Structure 1
Amino acid sequence: MLESVHLQVLERSLDTAMLRQRTIANNIANVDTPQFKSKRVVFEELLQQELAGTAGLQKLEAYRTNERHIPFNRMGTLPMPQILSNVGNMMQHNGNDVDLEFEMNELAKNQIWYNGLTQLTAGYFQKLRSVLEGGGR
């Protein structure tokens, strides 16, 4: 239960939210730095590709000795978040492309996302605790 795919996805998503927080904070800190190019973190698109099987990784199906056994697939490795340059942002007069309003909006969205992930993770462990304690006596 501790090595479930759901927990792995939650863990990687939390790591991504922290990386995104640092990346956005770096963009905001460099809002007035000449020639600075803003960055963004890409993960959700990569995860969707992996879950849909379009990432080029072949899924392995578990061996079943009886057709009544529950089929399941082993998920390939989870993608790592990537930091990419923002393409197509408008340049300021000093060559900087940071849009402060956009970055603050992304910061707020990421905080909400992170809070939701922590609640999901806490709920996962609460269910596990309930099972270990005998189903909530």
Structure 2
Amino acid sequence: MLDSVSLRSLHAALDGLSARERAVGDDIANVNTPYFTARRVSFESQLRSAVEDGTDPMAVRPVVTYSADPAGLTGNNVSLEAETLLGLDTSLRYDLAVRATSDRFSLLRTALRTV
């Protein structure tokens, strides 16, 4: 059965991953900006707790923090390699969540057609 908790969890995950993609994009765009500090977005542990506790996953908000990685000579701590890998990982996770959401709606459409 299609349950709203799963869809709400997927929606919350998409929100968090979208926020992370924006942060990674900003970090990459500022790789040469003096004194720029990379940002990190976390939401997975909060989302996991919400699902386990039975609370509303949509109440989970991504938390943006500044990276504690050491800065280079210009005071910038953005690593292009690390950001590229994080961006790739985030993109793959986002695509997976979109596919799971699409599958849920396909299941719902199929159920409605058979009624």
The TM-score normalised by the length of structure 2 is: 0.90
Structure 1 stretches lacking a partner, 5+ long: 54-74
Higher helix share: 2
Q: CA RMSD for the aligned pairs?
A: 1.8
Matching residue of 2:64? 83
The one-letter code of the counterpart of 1:107 is: G
Q: 1: CA distance between counterparts of 2:63 and 2:3?
A: 24
Is residue 9–residue 51 contact of structure 2 (8 Å, CA) maintained in 1? no
1:11 aligns with 2:11: yes
State the Cα distance separating 1:77 from its structure 2 match.
2.9
Indicate which of 67, 76, 95 corresponds to 2:75. Answer: 95
State the Cα distance separating 1:2 from its structure 2 match.
7.7
Secondary structure of 1:41's match? strand
Which structure has the larger Rg? 1
How many residue pairs match? The answer is 113
The one-letter code of the counterpart of 1:21 is: E
After the TM superposition, which parts of structure 1 deviate over 3 Å for at least 4 consecutive aligned residues? none
Q: 1: CA distance between counterparts of 2:70 and 2:84?
A: 17
The one-letter code of the counterpart of 1:104 is: T
Matching residue of 2:24? 24
The one-letter code of the counterpart of 2:91 is: Q
The one-letter code of the counterpart of 2:49 is: Q
Compared CA separation, residues 104 and 42, structure 1 to 2 (3 A): same
State the Cα distance separating 1:86 from its structure 2 match.
1.1
The one-letter code of the counterpart of 1:77 is: D
Q: 1: CA distance between counterparts of 2:82 and 2:70?
A: 12
Q: 2: CA distance between counterparts of 1:77 and 1:127?
A: 23
Which stretch has the larger CA shift, 113-122 or 42-51?
42-51
User: Counterparts of 1:1-137 in structure 2 under 5 Å?
Assistant: 4-53=4-53, 75-78=54-57, 79-87=60-68, 89-134=69-114
Percent of aligned positions that are identical: 31
The TM-score normalised by the length of structure 1 is: 0.76
Q: 2: CA distance between counterparts of 1:129 and 1:114?
A: 23
